[in-house]
Amino acid sequence: MSAYAVDHGLDDLAATARAALVREIDASGAWDADPVWRAAFAAVPRHLFVPYYYVGAGGPQGGYERRWGEDPSVRRREEWLRGAYADTPLATRLRDGELLSSSSQPSLMAKMLAELAVRDGDAVLEIGAGTGYNAALLSYRLGDELVTTVDLDPEITESARRHLAAAGRRPAVVTGDGARGCPERAPFDRVVATCALDTIPRPWLAQCRPGARILAPFATGLIALRVRDAGHAEGRFLHTAAYFVPLRGGTRAEREAPDVHLAGLPRRARGDELLRFLLTLTAGGLTSDQAHALWEHEAWPARERYGITVDGDRAWAWLDDPAGPYTWPLP
């Protein structure tokens, strides 16, 4: 059996599972800002992009269990197929126990695509090819010729090309450092990252048309930037939490994980997800005590109150106002 097909007996199960996923995303309100994405999720078969994936094995030994579409057991193939249409992220590539690539939670993908606010004719650059599923959704909506997806790992881009071809989609799949964008395919109207950033790569701005929108995971949130020109972009975070595999590439700056600073904080604060967001956003700019004091003084600010500004060689995060009293430098 091909990795890109299921038994004829499972075809109905795939269609049923995909329809159930669409209903689940619909009920979540993830694409309320742009319901046109419903048709893309209904049409693009996710199982073709995850011919295998890994789930936690559980038990005292931990580790991962591999599920795949060519398992000799019909029951286990059905488990694989149902899992492919669950509204959960799927680990798709591991190395020495480290997660290198995944297929994101479909409802979060739907939220990000809706917030990307694409228009017919927009050229989109995706940073992080993953399985190719997100590029397929973009291609369904916009057409193959307007979609470019970039990834540093040639194994990831090669498998993404195979998955996309199996689904009948052929956007541009480029092997390269996503932090440097894709100048040969520029200019772009939209840039969407499916990997976590700790700085805003300046080449992206230079490859965008004025008025372009950049949407990217940053500090456990999603930042939406409007590009004014090659030297300036600004925007606020969405309310949505977002956890992604970090961007790998030549311009990535290493920053200290905030968890090491939690020990001295009150128990209630240590468990607050929004404080962790603040600690990540201000790592290197505020101590944990300073971040905690700000968090309490400002009545536990939600993500939407924070933003990022890029202006020439400078970039900074801020609370409420880019020129206000609460600002922190970014790499």
The residues carrying an active-site annotation are 101
SS3 content of the chain, % helix, strand, coil (to 5): 35, 25, 35
A 10 A CB-CB count for 19 gives 13
Alpha-carbon distance of 108 to 40, in angstroms, equals 14
DSSP string for 183-239: GGG--EEEEEESSBBSS--HHHHHTEEEEEEEEEEETTEEEEEEEEETTEEEEEE-S
Alpha-carbon distance of 311 to 202, in angstroms, equals 10
Q: In what order do the strands lie in the sheet with 52-56?
A: 64-68, 52-56, 90-95, 98-103
Closest C-alpha to 61, from 103, 97, 101, 100: 97
Please check whether residue 159 is in contact with residue 139, taking contact to mean a CB–CB distance below 8 angstroms. no
